[in-house]
């Protein structure tokens, strides 16, 4: 961390400011930033030397001041995420506030988003597309089968796209960002707002040889 200067805001932090204490967490890097939040690589520290790597999503102060509905969206994302425990879904560990800054602590995935992989490597072969689709389907199926107070939640993601899919270095697909998910159970059997956008398949009919996604060059994390 830079010495002899005032600590900048979370939005203005650079790698030179790391590591930095944030409540029970130690910020060690910057993973990305979006319109709603900035995501840091961090460590949850406990007694007896306990440490756990996490991706810490901190909501922008300006967003919270502009619309309190987004705070509720944050809490909804954390609440839903806490219900989901599956190999193909990014785990949610914690939610809270530090000095008025809302955050969600998520599983840190050492890998790359699907959209970045497509940008760097291009479309994978058909066999890899089928494997990607199968793993995503398994995660979404687990979310649909989740239960709230003993009742099936029937979660529908509603924003599944390449930037919301992670690929780790072992080839495991992780679906993330259930922030706008709705439960069919709470909406009388159908989502409150119809999902009608269709996304074009990015997989070609065939491609002779393409690098496996585990060879992607960079690490990335949800923003």
CATH number, domain with residue 47: 3.30.200.20
Number of folded domains in the chain? 2
CATH number, domain with residue 118: 1.10.510.10
Name beta bridge partners: 204: none
Same domain, 140 and 182: yes
Domain presence at residue 223:
no
Q: What domain range includes position 199? A: 111-215
Domain presence at residue 220:
no
Picking from 78, 107, 136, the residue at the C-terminal end of a domain is 107
Same domain, 81 and 127: no
pTM, rounded to two decimals: 0.76
Domain presence at residue 2:
no
Same domain, 88 and 147: no
| pLDDT for the residue 5 | 56
Same domain, 180 and 157: yes
Other CB atoms within 10 Å distance of the CB of residue 25: 22
Picking from 107, 140, 165, the residue at the C-terminal end of a domain is 107
Same domain, 90 and 146: no
Domain presence at residue 43:
yes
Separation of alpha carbons 202 and 189, rounded Å: 31
Domain presence at residue 160:
yes
Same domain, 117 and 210: yes
Is there a contact between 117 and 156 (Cβ–Cβ < 8 Å)?
A: no
Sheet holding 173-175, edge to edge: 111-113, 165-168, 173-175
> Residue 176 burial (CB < 10 Å; 0-12/13-18/19+)?
buried
Domain presence at residue 59:
yes
67 is known as an active-site residue? no
Same domain, 125 and 206: yes
> Which one from 17, 110, 159, 177 is the annotated catalytic residue?
159
Same domain, 97 and 18: yes
Is there a contact between 41 and 219 (Cβ–Cβ < 8 Å)?
A: no
What secondary structure does DSSP assign to 135-168, as a single string?
A: HHHHHHHHHHH-EETTEE--EE-S---GGGEEEE
CA-closest candidate to residue 221, choices 93, 31, 81 = 31
Same domain, 117 and 103: no
Name beta bridge partners: 182: 156
Is there a contact between 85 and 91 (Cβ–Cβ < 8 Å)?
A: yes
Picking from 86, 107, 128, the residue at the C-terminal end of a domain is 107
Chain segment 153-177, per-residue pLDDT in tens: 777 787 889 999 999 999 999 998 8
Q: Give the number of C-alpha atoms closer than 13 A to the C-alpha of residue 195, restricted to the C-beta side.
A: 15
Same domain, 86 and 31: yes
Tell me how long the chain is. 223
Chain segment 3-49, per-residue pLDDT in tens: 555 667 898 899 999 999 999 999 999 998 888 889 999 999 888 88
Separation of alpha carbons 152 and 140, rounded Å: 14
Chain segment 43-98, per-residue pLDDT in tens: 998 888 899 999 999 988 887 777 777 677 777 767 778 888 999 999 999 999 99
CA-closest candidate to residue 118, choices 52, 165, 58 = 165
């Amino acid at each position: 961390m830079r010495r002899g200067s005032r600590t900048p805001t979370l939005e203005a932090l650079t790698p030179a400011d790391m590591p930095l204490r944030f409540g029970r967490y130690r910020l060690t890097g910057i993973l990305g930033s979006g319109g709603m939040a900035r995501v840091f690589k961090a460590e949850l520290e406990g007694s007896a030397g306990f440490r756990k790597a996490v991706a810490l999503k901190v909501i922008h102060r300006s967003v919270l001041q502009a619309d309190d509905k987004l705070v509720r969206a944050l809490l909804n994302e954390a609440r839903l995420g806490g219900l989901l425990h599956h190999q193909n879904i990014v785990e949610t560990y914690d939610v809270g506030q530090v000095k008025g800054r809302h955050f969600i602590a998520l599983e840190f995935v050492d890998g790359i988003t699907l959209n970045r992989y497509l940008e760097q490597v291009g479309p994978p072969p058909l066999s890899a597309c089928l494997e990607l689709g199968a793993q995503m389907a398994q995660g979404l199926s687990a979310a649909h089968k989740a239960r709230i107070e003993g009742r099936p939640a029937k979660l529908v993601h509603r924003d599944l796209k390449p930037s919301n899919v992670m690929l780790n270095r072992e080839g495991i697909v992780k679906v993330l960002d259930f922030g706008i998910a709705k439960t069919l159970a709470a909406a009388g059997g159908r989502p409150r707002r119809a999902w009608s956008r269709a996304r074009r398949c990015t997989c070609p009919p065939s491609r002779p040889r393409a690098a496996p996604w585990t060879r992607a060059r960079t690490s990335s994390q949800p923003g």
